[in-house]
């Protein structure tokens, strides 16, 4: 959505294609979109060079999720195990630097090869570290993406 100068109504625009251009050339004086799309880095990547401010009130939620194709159940299981290990590592304060302390009974006594999961954490860190490194500049975790910190009863 774009607030066009001189008009009282919001106008729908092809947000991913033109919103930065419309803000840059003055067609719009305000835009509405997902934080990931209107972050400073995203706007810069789309050619917007001016200054702007982004509101702090969120009118929606942007939970992140991981998706795999359904044609390979073993691959999907492995991806699920990896993301679960990253979540639990964050909960347990196991970081990239301390991956070696991951216990063999990490998942409540379930038998698995803990070495491979230690290697995953040693390579990329826990979920919080991964998010900080790759998403924090464009997408703050906010409450919805901090469910695994154990401070909320929310379930997504």
User: pLDDT for 46-76, tens place per residue?
Assistant: 888 888 777 776 666 566 677 788 888 888 8
User: pLDDT for 43-52, tens place per residue?
Assistant: 888 888 888 7
Total residues found in the chain within this entry: 156
pLDDT-derived band at 156 (thresholds 50, 70, 90) equals very low
User: pLDDT for 104-127, tens place per residue?
Assistant: 776 655 556 778 888 999 999 998
The token pair that represents 129 in the structure block: 């570290």
Q: How far apart are CA 3 and CA 67, in angstroms?
A: 34
């Amino acid at each position: 959505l774009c607030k066009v100068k001189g008009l009282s109504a919001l106008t729908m625009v092809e947000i991913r294609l033109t919103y930065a251009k419309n803000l840059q050339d003055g067609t719009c004086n305000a835009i509405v979109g997902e934080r990931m799309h209107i972050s400073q880095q995203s706007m810069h990547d789309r050619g917007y060079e001016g200054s702007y401010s982004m509101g702090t009130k969120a009118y929606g939620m942007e939970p992140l999720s991981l998706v795999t194709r359904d044609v390979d159940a073993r691959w999907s299981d492995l991806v699920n195990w990896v993301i679960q290990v990253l979540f639990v590592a964050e909960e347990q304060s196991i970081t990239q630097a301390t991956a070696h302390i991951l216990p063999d009974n990490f998942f409540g006594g379930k038998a698995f090869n803990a070495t491979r999961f230690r290697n995953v954490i040693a390579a990329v860190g826990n979920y919080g570290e991964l998010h900080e490194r790759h998403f924090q500049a464009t997408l703050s975790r906010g409450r919805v993406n901090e469910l695994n910190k154990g401070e909320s009863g929310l379930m997504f």
